Amino acid sequence: MKVENGHNVKVHYKGTFTDGTEFDNSRTRGETLNFEVGTPGLIKGFNNAVVGMAAGETKTIKLAADEAYGQPDPEALQRIPKARFDNDFVFEVGGMVGGNSPRGPVRAIIREIHENAVVLDFNHPLAGKDLIFELEVVSVQGDELAQTTDWNTKMKKAELLEIARNQGLGVNTRSTKKEIIAALQA
């Protein structure tokens, strides 16, 4: 089965910079990247690359920075008073800091250290970089669920969602499992 938008896939990948330096590897971590193809949250170039692939197929792709994490945003550099950090915090250029914002957890890199403040870079660490990915589609889930109308409440949300979608029901990834079951029962 060929990967299409809406399919759930498991992918192994190795990410490198154009000089060959590896920055990420799912095999090293011992787990695949699992995602629904076509949904937000994954870099577009990576998502688009798996469309049309089949389980067991491999390919290597090169993504320009604009297809990956985009270009660095100068407005993502912010001057933060040192007083906002713990007294024992060790400031180091290139060091990573983490915290919480009203929108959730944030990470930044210390770019400059001044007497009373630091300049933090909130851009994604891979912004502005061209990336190479070696991809292997491990499994594709989608069509086998499209063929069935049999379901039960013990199935995973993703399985129920796929069955409901294939029946033309108005559900999506934001629907709760309870809402999907209600749509299937109607």
Predicted pLDDT of residue 93:
97
Element (H, E) at 179: helix 177-185
Judge whether 11 and 134 are in contact, CB under 8 Å. no
Are 153 and 168 contained in the same domain? yes
Are 135 and 155 contained in the same domain? no
* Angstrom distance (rounded) from CA 73 to CA 185: 48
**What's this model's pTM, rounded to 2 decimal places?**
0.67
The pLDDT averaged over each successive group of 10 residues in the chain (186 residues) is 90 97 95 91 91 93 95 96 93 92 89 97 95 94 58 84 74 86 84
Are 58 and 131 contained in the same domain? yes
CATH of residue 99's domain is 2.40.10.330
Are 3 and 63 contained in the same domain? yes
Are 2 and 50 contained in the same domain? yes
CATH of residue 37's domain is 3.10.50.40
Count Cα atoms within 13 angstroms, Cβ side, for 36: 12
* Angstrom distance (rounded) from CA 69 to CA 124: 7
Are 85 and 134 contained in the same domain? no
Predicted pLDDT of residue 59:
97
Are 17 and 58 contained in the same domain? yes
The token duo for 118 is 């630091």
Are 52 and 66 contained in the same domain? yes
Judge whether 41 and 35 are in contact, CB under 8 Å. yes
Are 63 and 130 contained in the same domain? yes
Are 5 and 49 contained in the same domain? yes
Predicted pLDDT of residue 143:
47
Predicted pLDDT of residue 62:
97
> Under DSSP, is residue 25 helix (H, G, I), strand (E, B) or coil?
strand
Predicted pLDDT of residue 180:
87
Are 19 and 111 contained in the same domain? no
Split into its structural domains, the chain has a count of 3
Predicted pLDDT of residue 166:
67
Are 66 and 16 contained in the same domain? yes
Predicted pLDDT of residue 134:
97
Q: Which of 155, 154, 150 is nearest to 167 (CA)?
A: 150
Q: Which domain covers residue 170, as residue numbers? A: 148-186
The token duo for 79 is 């001057």
* Angstrom distance (rounded) from CA 37 to CA 124: 22
Predicted pLDDT of residue 167:
67
